[in-house]
Amino acid sequence: MWEVMLPQDFSKLEVIGEGKTKIVRRMENPDLVLLEFKDAITALDGEKKDTLTGKGHINARISSFLFEFLSKEGVPTHYVSFIEPNYMVVRRLKMLPVEIVCRNIAAGSFTKKYPVKAGSRLKYPVVEYYLKDDLRHDPMMNEDHIVVLGILPSIEEVKEIKELTLKVNKSLSNFLDSKGITLVDFKLEFGKDKDGKICIGDEINGDSMRLWDKETGRVLDKDVYRQGKKLSEVLETYRECYKRIIGEEPKV
């Protein structure tokens, strides 16, 4: 077990990275980092940006809950512990500059790129790889690109990532189905721990998944924000997502 020692005021911990929705802080134990989930919400490569009070708590809690669930399912993740209201302690990973997307139902960019009906179930889950590179607008890659670009040393490790992604898809789809939610698609990020073991990092929540109500098709994820809905409706959607997954009201 990890011994987590934390000072009272996390804001005093040195910032070692900051993205659009999370701050990464150094911890006393060099093998761990603290992820702080912000109340920021962004879309269109950060062009659209707002503050949604309580979103940081909701997304930190959902991520922690789902990482705990996946760990129990035997999936290696960086998750260590959740700290109220919006912090997650995680193992430090060397992140791979790749986003892995897995799709069960045609939605989003998939329906823009390919001649497929939005909302149709795919014959089997499709796994896609995107290079994390803002200047190049995150180009899609195939498995060979990942090896040739030196992101992973062998095709076997690429296959390992694909198999883990499909396992996550199966476990999460079943779990969410039991909560009345269809897992449409999601994005994962992987990294290697200090022993070189491949683990899932980053976050898993309504910002990185498309979730639809099984019966009504109601959207329960960030798409409501991408669609330009009122911020009050966006927050209500995040709250509903929390309630369904965690089984209680969010604390904000």
Residues lying near ligand UDP in the complex (CB under 6 A) are found at: 99, 101, 108-110, 185-187, 208-210
Of 89 and 100, nearer to ligand UDP (C-beta) is 100
Token pair 């990020």 is at which residue?
189
Instruction: Indicate the residue among 35 and 101 with the shorter CB distance to ligand UDP.
Output: 101
Tokens of 160: 């390992």
The residue (of 116 and 155) whose beta carbon lies closer to ligand UDP is 116
State the nearest-atom distance from the C-beta of 184 to ligand UDP, in Å: 7
Query: 206 vs 250, which CB is nearer to ligand UDP?
Result: 206
Least separation in angstroms between residue 63's CB and ligand UDP is 12
C-alpha–C-alpha distance, residues 74 and 223, integer Å? 30
The closest residue (CB) to ligand UDP is: 108
Cβ-count burial 18-53 (b if 16+ within 10 Å, e if not): eeebbbbbebeeeebbbbbbbbbbbbeeeeeeeebe
Length of the chain counted residue by residue: 252
- Nearest distance from residue 9's CB to ligand UDP, in Å? 31
Q: What is the DSSP letter of 120?
A: P
Give 92 or 210: the residue with its C-beta nearer to ligand UDP: 210
Min separation Cβ 99 and ligand UDP, Å? 6
How far is it, in rounded angstroms, from Cα 75 to Cα 72? 7
Whose tokens are 């996550």? That residue is 168
Instruction: Quote the distance between the C-alpha of residue 214 and its chain's center.
Output: 21
Q: Which is nearer to ligand UDP, 101 or 164 (CB)?
A: 101
Measured from the Cβ of residue 156, the count of other Cβ atoms closer than 10 Å reads: 9
List alpha helices for 90-230, DSSP H. 109-113, 143-148, 155-178, 223-226
* Residue with smaller CB distance to ligand UDP, 22 or 187: 187
Work out how close the CB of 138 gets to ligand UDP at its nearest, in angstroms, rounded to a whole number.
7
Please choose, from the candidates 147, 111, 146, 139, the residue with its C-alpha nearest in 3D space to the C-alpha of residue 126.
111
Question: Which one-letter DSSP state was computed for residue 39?
Answer: S
- Tally Cβ neighbours within 10 Å of residue 216: 8
Question: Shortest distance, CB of residue 106 to ligand UDP, whole angstroms?
Answer: 9
